[in-house]
Amino acid sequence: MLGSVINFVAIIIGGITGILFKDSFPKKIQNTVMQGLSLAVILIGLQMALLTENILIVIFSLVIGGVIGESIDIEKNLERVGKMLKSSFQQENDLFVQGFVQASLVFCVGSMAIMGAIQDGLNNDPSILINKSLLDGVASVAFSATFGIGVLFSAIPVLLYQGGLTLLASFVEQYLTDPMVNEMTATGGLLIMAIGLNIMGVSKIKVANLLPALVIAIIGVAVI
């Protein structure tokens, strides 16, 4: 679990750095930097989305995943966790919840989180997660400068999610084929693009409610 722990620490350090230095930059600079980061997030998502070899699986996954996610309202439950943390730490800024939700999704959705955790568990090699930690650390600086302390708490689901995959690596790895990873990555790429659009304020897509699409993509490949 070394890679997940490093990732956890990187997000915390980046988040604290962003909070400490947020007042050093005018609001207009913060906004411009955040827009630039949003564009970078969209680009990363686009690169991932283009990995698909069967667009029908991606479409099917988003439709079925959206039905499942909306039925159990993952977004609302994730926001509820953010509000509980906000209340526990006596934060009144509504950006706390937004920062927690958006950062958690950005840091958890993607092939680096999944394959890095599996590699760490199987081969005791945290190199992928270390590289991811550098990216997440830089992103958390910009996120926390805009959204505040809520971004720091996104490190918790990252640690639980990636750490859990690391512990289950030997079980998960035997069932994940390359086509499964590609379609899951492509589907996740579209979700990351949606996150970028949400951060820019262009849309209000319920990304969390589309998360089941990642599992449906794996099942779709297995069935086909």
| Residue in this structure with the two tokens 């086909």, named with its chain if needed | 224
> Which structure tokens are listed for 29?
């600079």
Mean of pLDDT values over 165-170: 84
Per residue in 6-35, pLDDT tens?
A: 999 999 999 999 999 888 877 788 788 888
Q: Tens digit of pLDDT for each residue in 144-164?
A: 988 888 899 999 999 999 999
Through-space distance between the first and last CA atoms of the chain, rounded to whole angstroms: 34
pLDDT band for 54, please (50, 70, 90 cuts).
very high
At residue 99, does pLDDT exceed 70?
Answer: yes
5/203 Cα distance (integer angstroms): 33
**What does the pLDDT read at residue 188?**
87
Q: What angle do CA 23, 28, 32 make, to 5 degrees?
A: 110
Phi/psi at 45 (5° precision): -65, -40
- Model pTM score: 0.79
pLDDT reading at 133 higher than 90: yes
* Contacts made by residues 171-175, CB under 8 angstroms, sequence distance 24+: 172/118, 173/118, 173/122
Mean model confidence pLDDT for the chain: 87
